[in-house]
Every structure is written in structure tokens, then in C-alpha cells.
Amino acid sequence: MTELMIDAQQVCKSFGSLEVLTGIDLQVPRGEVACLIGPSGSGKSTFLRCVNHLEKVTAGRLYVDGDLIGYRERDGVLYEISEKEAARQRADIGMVFQQFNLFPHRTVLENVIEAPVHVKGTPVATAKKRALELLDQVGLAHKANAYPVQLSGGQQQRVAIARAVAMDPKLMLFDEPTSALDPELVGEVLRVMRELADDGMTMLVVTHEMGFAREVADTVVFMDGGRVVEAGTPAQVLDNPQEGRTRAFLSSLF
């Protein structure tokens, strides 16, 4: 069992002639939280989507829990795996997006049990029991029979987190999970994420919430122009950045 949950080695990604990632090296140990910060367009979300093969890397290698993501290597040559195999890898990686992406025609409970039942084959009764436990954890057990339209944005995002955790992932990816929320709803989502981190979940989080990064992250990674400019502990990167570009970005926030 590898100690690294994420091991990115010179990961590059291009869209046609546009180079979005230019050789990302990033390691996230099991049980740790890494926060990606940086300006819009720096490649943070693209890198996150490469981790579960929603985007295909152009070059380099990306491993999750020791498994090469999206490809099989033979004699030094990479061969893309089938979509079915990619979906199997993806089932072990939870992802929470900016938008909540809940099924509008299904109740909260039905949203949470959908993937465990239909992807992992979990018995419905078992999935419901687990879903109610998770909804209780995120403070929404009383909304189990409500529909997404009846929930606030913060409540919908907490349901989205419960839905991802219901698959028992070994890694959770968060793509700016609070950016679509009204400011007063941000705290309730960050609380749930803090509890996940406290429970030992490995997390890679794209965020603009510097307070969350400072409090929860083991590593803060500042990206700009498709590359890692600086990485270290929150104290190192947020309080004592060594790179001028990092300092300029942080000064623009405060």
C-alpha cells in the first residue's frame, strides 16, 4: 500500500494549441488535505479533473493510490483504458463540483443512494441506512424526503458531499465547492469538509477560502500559468511566501 494517495509526475494538459498544465509535480500523502489556490485560469480545476480522468492528460503520469489513472503502461508506452475501466477507477474517487448537480426529480435520500445501488450494487436497504447516517452527519436527516428545489444552496452542496461520501471513496476532490453559494451559506459547507478532514479523508481542494486552507490543509499549493509556483505548509505559503507571484496574489485578496 503506497503512502501517496496522489502522485502527479510532470502532468501536462493541452486543449489544441492552448497549454493549460505545463508539467505539474504534486504528491498528496494518504490522509492529508491539499488545497490548490491561485488566480482563475491557472489550471487548478483542470488538474483536479485530470485526477479522475474527466480530462485526459496530454503527457506525464498521474497515480491515485498507486494506480495509473486513465492509462495502462506497457514497455514504457501508455495505452488509454476503456471508459468502463475509467469509470471503475472513478468510482473510488469522490468529486464535489461548484454546481450541485443533484437529480431534481429525486428526493435527497434517492440522490444519495443512487450511485451505491446502481454502480456498486449495494442492497437498497443497506444504502438507505448508510445514506441516513451521512445525512445526519451533514445535518440534513430531516430533509431526506425533500427535493433539491426545496433546499438552499448550502443544503444542496451538503447533500452533494453526502452523495460523494456514500460511495466510500478513498479520495475526495472538491472544485471550489463554495463559490456558487451566498456568503452566509459558505460556513455550513466548510464545516462538513472540516469534519471529513478530521475523519482522515484524503482531500484535494480547489478553493478561494484562505481561512479554510490555513485551518485544514496540510499542504497549500499555489498555481499560476499552468504550473506549481510554490507549495508548502499553510504557514509557509500563506504567511511567508517565497515567490513574488505568490505574494502578489495573496496581497490582492486582503
**C-alpha dihedral, 177 to 230 to 7 to 95, nearest 10°:** 0
> Which amino acid is it at 182?
D
Say what percent of the chain tops pLDDT 90.
Answer: 87
Mean pLDDT of 7-24: 96
Residue 254 has pLDDT above 80, yes or no: no
> Which phi and psi (to 5°) does residue 58 adopt?
-85, -35
Residues 161 and 174: their CA atoms lie apart, in Å, by 9
Residues 51 and 34: beta-carbon distance below 8 Å: no
Of the chain, the end-to-end C-alpha distance in Å amounts to 42
Summary mean pLDDT of the chain? 94
- For 22-34, the pLDDT digits (tens) are 999 999 999 999 9
Residues 7 and 27: beta-carbon distance below 8 Å: yes
Q: What angle separates helix 153-165 from helix 183-198, to the nearest 10 degrees?
A: 20
Residue 1 has pLDDT above 70, yes or no: no
- Count CA atoms closer than 13 A to 178's CA, side-chain side: 21
User: Looking at residue 2, what is its pLDDT?
Assistant: 58
Assign 151 a pLDDT band (cuts: 50, 70, 90).
very high
Residues 177 and 187: their CA atoms lie apart, in Å, by 11
Q: What residue ranges define each of the domains in the chain, with the CATH number in brackets? A: 4-253 (3.40.50.300)
Q: How do 18-29 and 67-68 pair as beta strands?
A: unpaired
- For 190-241, the pLDDT digits (tens) are 999 999 999 999 999 999 999 999 999 999 999 999 999 999 999 999 999 9
Mean pLDDT of 44-60: 94
Residues 117 and 187: their CA atoms lie apart, in Å, by 31
Global pTM exceeds 0.85: yes
Residue 165 has pLDDT above 80, yes or no: yes
Three-state secondary structure string covering the chain:
CCCEEEEEEEEEEEECCEEEEEEEEEEEECCCEEEEECCCCCCHHHHHHHHCCCCCCCEEEEEECCEECCEEEECCEEEECCHHHHHHHHCCEEEECCCCCCCCCCCHHHHHHHHHHHCCCCCHHHHHHHHHHHHHHCCCHHHCCCCHHHCCHHHHHHHHHHHHHCCCCCEEEEECCCCCCCHHHHHHHHHHHHHHHHCCCEEEEECCCHHHHHHHCCEEEEEECCEEEEEECHHHHHHCCCCHHHHHHHHHHC
Residues 175 and 43: beta-carbon distance below 8 Å: no
Residues 33 and 185: their CA atoms lie apart, in Å, by 22
